[in-house]
């Protein structure tokens, strides 16, 4: 079965804006993603190496915020929701299926390594930026946060500047 076309981007953006606005109205804060991932990492560290966890400053600082259970995190519940919502959407539009997506002429191994490195950088950067594209850039824009908008410009600016050097990962070499 043929996958259904994507939604009109402006209409999708409008809906995204309404979701974000509702979130701000209900919770007083915006959306996020990397924060949810972070709570998983914190929880893993806590359970795998409890001794290290209890002697490391950063984790102990966080302890006060999540009261001993890093998984009791608003953003973690939110990203579980994101997973469910995206799955529902994918099923409705016939877009679900195991697949390794990559640029033309890129090997599987290269793609996986690039994905890991990209993820690693994004994860690291999101900590410095106090949020990722969702939590810092998008939500920051909605409340006109100076830092959020600066982070957004830095993300897209840096991606544009580096795009030329990584073009072989995504587009044909001739271009």
Q: Which of residues 125-154 bind another protein (CB under 8 A)?
A: 125-154
Q: CB of 109: closest distance to another protein in angstroms?
A: 11
**What CA–CA distance (Å, rounded) separates 32 from 81?**
12
Q: Does 105 bind another protein (CB under 8 A)?
A: no
Per-residue contact string for residues 30-49; x = within reach of another protein by CB under 8 A: xxxxxx-xx-xxx-xx----
**Under DSSP, is residue 95 helix (H, G, I), strand (E, B) or coil?**
coil
The packing angle between helices 34-48 and 57-66, to 10°, is 110
Taking CA atoms, 17 is separated from 40, 98, 144, in Å, by: 27, 30, 14
How many residues bind another protein (CB under 8 A)? The answer is 124
Least distance in Å: CB of 114 to another protein?
Answer: 5
- Asked if 1 interacts with another protein (CB under 8 A), we say no
Q: At what angle do helices 34-48 and 108-128 cross, to 10 degrees?
A: 90
Member of 2, 51, 68, 101 binding another protein (CB under 8 A): 101
Which member of 29, 47, 50, 105 binds another protein (CB under 8 A)?
29
Q: How far apart are CA 4 and CA 91, in angstroms?
A: 10
Work out how close the CB of 63 gets to another protein at its nearest, in angstroms, rounded to a whole number. Answer: 13
């Amino acid at each position: 079965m043929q996958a259904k076309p994507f939604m009109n981007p402006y209409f999708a953006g409008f809906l995204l804006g309404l979701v974000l606005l509702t979130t701000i109205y209900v919770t007083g804060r915006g959306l996020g993603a990397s924060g949810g991932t972070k709570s998983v990492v914190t929880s893993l560290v806590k359970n795998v190496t409890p001794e290290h966890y209890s002697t490391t400053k950063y984790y102990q600082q966080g302890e006060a915020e999540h009261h001993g259970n890093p998984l009791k995190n608003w953003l973690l519940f939110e990203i579980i929701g994101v997973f469910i919502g995206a799955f529902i959407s994918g099923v409705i539009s016939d877009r679900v299926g195991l697949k390794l997506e990559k640029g033309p002429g890129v090997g599987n191994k290269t793609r996986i390594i690039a994905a890991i490195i990209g993820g690693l950088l994004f994860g690291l950067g999101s900590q410095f930026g106090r949020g990722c594209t969702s939590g810092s850039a998008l939500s920051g824009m909605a409340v006109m946060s100076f830092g959020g908008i600066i982070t957004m410009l830095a993300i897209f600016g840096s991606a544009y500047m580096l795009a030329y050097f990584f073009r072989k990962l995504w587009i044909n070499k001739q271009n």
